[in-house]
Amino acid sequence: MWKILQKLASPPHFYQLAAKIIPWLAVSALLLITYGTVAGLFFAPADYQQGDAFRIIYVHVPAAYLSMLAYSVMAISAGIGLIWRMKLAHAVAAGAAPLGAWFTFLALATGSIWGRPMWGTWWEWGDPRLTSELIMLFLYFGYMALRAAIDDTQKADRAGAILALVGAVNVPIIHFSVEWWSSLHQGPTLVREGGPAIVPAMLYPLLAMIFGFSLLFGALLLSRVRTEVLYRERRSRWVRNLLLSSEESH
């Protein structure tokens, strides 16, 4: 098992393996997102309280979920890199940060658009989920800014990893905020005792969008990590051989 993990952590092996996985993730993501979009926008019934305005959940919920997933991936990878000094883990963390920031921004933007007709306001500072989600966006920005401010890659990896791990405490706060405090957000709808509190015609498109966005995140992450690996290994022999073989093929 350890030998398999060591092989996966090898930059050249990861680079080649990721190239094979990305198309499968991307095509699967496209199919799921296409189904979820069509079914959610045109075939799901209108909500009895929110009307057609509820349909923004097909973007908002996956974006919010991935904002937390991306930060978890970043923090776990940064921790692995910090403890075991695994270069590839730091590359994964660096690759996940911009994607997580975009998903967090999308979650905040769609949440604000949704909140205006539902809550009567674009933003409510007293809502714990809104505020903690905004804090996570700042954590993403802080992580990327800190890395960019340090020229030495190893020092940037260590400093970024510490910040990512400290900020990880915000992820469970976001998730449980609607249960711990009074919030404008509704309680758990999908994962709850007694099953999802949503009819199948609305549920299946939502699940398709969540899984589709997740696969899209995986494809984008692998693509970014491949680029990060090339930059970090730019002076290594295997990268020079890769460039030479690419030039010869053209």
Domain residue spans in the chain? 19-237
| Contact of 205 with 35, CB cutoff 8 Å | yes
For the cut 90, the answer to whether the pLDDT of residue 96 exceeds it is yes
| Contact of 26 with 218, CB cutoff 8 Å | no
Given this model, what pLDDT does residue 192 score? 61
3 state DSSP class of 59:
helix
Task: Give 184's pLDDT tier (boundaries 50, 70, 90).
Answer: low
DSSP 10: -
For the cut 70, the answer to whether the pLDDT of residue 8 exceeds it is no
Q: How far is Cα 132 from Cα 67, in angstroms, rounded to an integer?
A: 12
Mean residue pLDDT across the chain: 89
For the cut 70, the answer to whether the pLDDT of residue 6 exceeds it is no
Q: Worst-scoring range by mean pLDDT, 51-65, 87-101, 109-123?
A: 109-123
Q: What are phi and psi of 249, to 5 degrees?
A: -70, -20
For the cut 70, the answer to whether the pLDDT of residue 191 exceeds it is no
Given this model, what pLDDT does residue 195 score? 62
Cβ neighbours for 227, distance < 8 A, ≥ 6 positions apart: 95
Give how far Cα 199 sits from Cα of 4, 40, 62, 95, Å.
43, 12, 18, 37
